[in-house]
Amino acid sequence: MHRADESARSPVGAIGRVTVPIPPGGPGEVLVAVRGGSEAYTAWSATSIDRDERVVVVDSVSARGVIVERLPP
């Protein structure tokens, strides 16, 4: 059995939607489209991001934690 390529499993670059508002420097939650479905991740951002805003994952800090930025309008 071959091990899956880790880059194919990474959420970095994926688009998501905020499900729990993200305060500046604090955790919130995002639902990210990955691997043919959607997964929830704990998310941090340098700026506050409201619920239902679209974001892009810019870094992964753990298996279930990501850094996000607001998508431009």
- Residues paired with 20 in a beta bridge: 29
CA dist list (Å): 57 to 1, 7, 70, 73: 30, 14, 9, 16
Task: Give the Cα separation of 25 and 50 in Å (integer).
Answer: 14
Using one digit for the tens of pLDDT, what is the confidence trace for 13-67?
999 999 999 998 889 999 998 888 999 999 999 999 999 999 999 999 999 999 9
Asked whether 12 and 58 are in contact (CB, 8 A), the reply is yes
Task: Give the Cα separation of 23 and 20 in Å (integer).
Answer: 10
6: enclosing H helix or E strand? helix 6-9
pLDDT band for position 3 (cuts 50, 70, 90):
very low
